Amino acid sequence: MSVIFLVVPLATLIVLVAVIGFVISVRRGQFDDLDTPALRVLHDDDTPKHDGARRSTR
């Protein structure tokens, strides 16, 4: 059972990574508009320059 001393901190670390990921995605505005990206993904990727992938990160 002493493995729990290792596993719980590890799990906490994973949670920390997830939380950091979430905060970063919120700050980049990924939750600002929940309707449009669902449609955008359906479009063919025929844009010649791909700087559209670099989203604004204000």
Partner 1 sequence: MTVADVAPRGAVPAVGQDVACTHCGLPVPRGLVVPDAEQQFCCAGCQTAFEIIHGHGLDGYYAITERRDGPVAATGRTFDEFDHPTFRQMYVRPAGDGLAQVDLYLEGVHCGACLWLVERVPLIVPGVARAELNMRRSLARVVWDDAAVPLSRVARTLDSLGYHPHPFRGLAVETMRRREDRAMLARIGIAGAIAANVMLAALALYSGQLGGMEGPYERFFRWVSLVLTTPALFWPGRVFFAGAWASVRTRTLHMDVPIALALAVGWLRGTWNTVTDTGPIYFDGLATLTFALLAGRFLQQRGQRAAADSAELLYSLSPSTARVVDGSATREVPAQALLPGMVLDVRAGETFAADGIIASGRSAVDVALLTGESRPVSVEVGDRVYAGTLNVSSAVQVRVDGTGEQSRLAKILQQVDESTRRRAPVVQLANRLAGWFVAAVLLIAAATVLYWYPRDPASAIDNAIALLVVTCPCALALATPLAVSMAIGRAARTGILIKGGDVLERLANPGTLLLDKTGTITEARVVLSHWSGADWIKPLVMALEQESSHPIAAGFRRAFEGVEVMEPSLTTHVVGGGIDGMVEGWHVVVGSPAYVEARACRRPGVVMPPSYLTPILVAVDGTIVAAAGFGDPVRTDARASIDTLRSRGWTVRIVSGDHPTVVAGVGESLGLPAADCVGGATPEDKRRLVDQARQRGNVVMVGDGVNDAAAIAAASVGIGVHGGAEACLATADVYLARPGLAPLVALTEGASRTMAVIRRNIAFSIGYNVIGATLAVTGVINPLIAAILMPVSSLTVVLASWSSTTFHADRAV
Binding site for partner 1 (CB under 8 A): 1, 4-5, 8, 11-12, 15, 18-19, 22-23, 26-27, 29, 31-33, 35-36, 39-40, 42-43, 47-49, 51-52, 56
Phi and psi torsions of 9, nearest 5°:
-60, -35
Smallest separation (angstroms) from partner 1 to the CB of 9: 8
Query: Which tokens belong to 7?
Result: 């596993």
Alpha-carbon distance 31 to 34, whole Å? 6
Find the shortest distance in angstroms from Cβ 39 to partner 1.
Answer: 4
